[in-house]
Amino acid sequence: MTTSGDITEFPPTPSPLNGPGDITAGPDGNLWFTEVAGNGIGRITPTGVITQFTFFRDNAQPLAITAGADGNLWFTEAGLPNIGRINPGSGSATDFPISSIASAITAGSDGNVWFTMANGSIGRITPAGVVTEFPVPTTVLPAGTTFSDLRTGPDANLWATTSNGKLLRITTGVTPPRFTDPAVIKVPGTGDSGIADPYPATIEADGLQGTVTKVTVRLNGVHHGFASDIHAQLVGPQGQSAVLMANATDRVGDVGPLAQPDVFDGDVLTFSDGAPAPGRRPGTGVFAPFNPGFLLAFTPPAPPNVPVPPASLAVFNGTNPNGAWKLFLVDDDAHNETTLPTTGVIAGGWSLDIQTTGPPPVQLPAVQLPAPDPIIVPGPTVTVAGQSAPAADTTRPTLKLGKLPTRMKLRDFRKGVRVQATPSEPVTLDTTLTATPRTVFERTTKLSRAQTLVLKPSAKLLGAQRRTFKVRLRFVATDGAANRTTVSRTITVTP
């Protein structure tokens, strides 16, 4: 589908896809997808040429797929407790055994691949195939709860949805900042000096419990020709403020062999109380906030410069952490006499980590699995769209239905609808009754000959009906070659 809504279908030949499930952009510029019922992995080019890779394991059933940082495609298997890896160049695949069936999978910010498991664990697999499993405590994920999906968030954490109505955030090693605004900040916004753009940069914190015990701030990728020009101040949701840095260097005026440029060149500056003092000029690293005593150059809506805000993040301790945190940045000198660049940017935006007195994040215990002997899948069986292939059964089954009423009284409908179904060959018959807007009957039946079916709606789902309504009967017959026929009927039900 194009962004303007135009849709093009790419039906592979000689047969349709068999249970396509998940899809992802591959490192080779193509799209890769799973075929659950077809027991394979597919590749489609942007022009629509499809290649299918079928595995020797009859019941692998590739389910979810993601592109790993190592240039391979990684996938889960619905039929076997394995994580699969397929090389986009050769199409050869490798299976890595795990302790339980896996479902969702995603590439983590740490260079590894992460996945969810039916036994309530989160799994991690390295590019070399080393698996570590992290059981989620039953206090968080009660027995029987399943994962719905797993994704890597913009904060570098993993985020999972569960069947018991929860969102889980999982860290991937070194704890990343809890909140991040990656938007570029220009310092100054215009001209050679003045306030930044945006002014202020804002991060909205929510979902935190308790009061603040520690705040850590990070400026991601600082560039400026004159580091001493940048002044930074943080203001919390309750109005407290702290200086992060002002006049970041005292190197101005250095001459001779000791002279060093007064430059930020992509530095990542982290400010945390209790960290070392910055020295003559901070580069990439963790530092205590600092203000050498020069007059701050902040203008409204920043807080007044007098009294000067403290150079300590402890001012936020004990306050409510939720709400808008504001970062004010100012360039206080134009340097018109120089040919050096007098402006800069915070290229990666800024990050904020807030620790509170509330419940700490759940730490998942690691269960290290021995590195498995990989199961190498031999060269693939390939079917390419548009090329000749062995003849396949592409004939759809037929399904004949006996006479059905078009109108029924509600009392008779509650007793059940009787219908004779006759297939042309053995099929799997999926039957549903939908009383708008809900499904009130579902059943899957193996059908090899004529058979009378009794379709009795669920009294609980049907509920109390007082008006005339329509019921849609849908029969889907699927043969052994996955050819499918759908037959529908409608009955009007009256009180």
CATH code: domain of residue 462: 2.60.40.2550
Across 12-26, 154-168, 169-183, 443-457, the highest mean pLDDT is recorded for 443-457
Same domain (yes/no): 203, 269? yes
**pLDDT for residue 279:** 64
pLDDT higher than threshold 80 for residue 6 = no
Quote the mean pLDDT of the chain.
81
| Residue range 97-122: mean pLDDT, rounded | 89
**pLDDT for residue 177:** 55
Same domain (yes/no): 334, 199? yes
> Would you say residue 1 lies in a domain?
no
> Would you say residue 347 lies in a domain?
yes
Same domain (yes/no): 114, 77? yes
**pLDDT for residue 11:** 72
3-class DSSP state for residue 159? strand
- Confidence band for 284, pLDDT divided at 50, 70 and 90: confident
Residue percentage of the chain with pLDDT more than 70: 83
> Would you say residue 479 lies in a domain?
yes
**pLDDT for residue 126:** 85
**DSSP secondary structure letters along 175-202:** PPPSEEE---EEESSSSSSEE-BSSSEE
**pLDDT for residue 45:** 87
Give the number of other CB atoms < 10 A from CB of residue 364: 17
Considering its fold, how many domains does the chain have in total? 3
Q: Which domain holds residue 118?
A: 20-171+364-377
User: Which among 324, 356, 388 is the end of a domain?
Assistant: 356
> Would you say residue 14 lies in a domain?
no
Same domain (yes/no): 114, 245? no
What is the number of residues in the chain? 495
CATH code, 56: 2.130.10.10
Residue percentage of the chain with pLDDT more than 90: 23
Same domain (yes/no): 274, 371? no
Least confident of 282-286, 319-323, 380-384: 380-384
Same domain (yes/no): 341, 370? no
Same domain (yes/no): 31, 154? yes
Q: Does 200 sit behind a cis peptide bond, omega within 30 degrees of 0 on the bond before it?
A: yes
pLDDT higher than threshold 80 for residue 288 = yes
**pLDDT for residue 212:** 92
Same domain (yes/no): 191, 338? yes
Same domain (yes/no): 368, 352? no
Beta carbons within 8 Å of 486's beta carbon, 6+ residues apart = 474, 475, 476, 477
> Would you say residue 4 lies in a domain?
no
DSSP 227: G
Least confident of 210-219, 223-232, 485-494: 223-232
pLDDT higher than threshold 50 for residue 390 = no
**pLDDT for residue 342:** 73
Beta carbons within 8 Å of 364's beta carbon, 6+ residues apart = 122, 134, 135, 136, 137, 170
> Would you say residue 118 lies in a domain?
yes
Beta carbons within 8 Å of 487's beta carbon, 6+ residues apart = 399, 401, 474, 475, 477
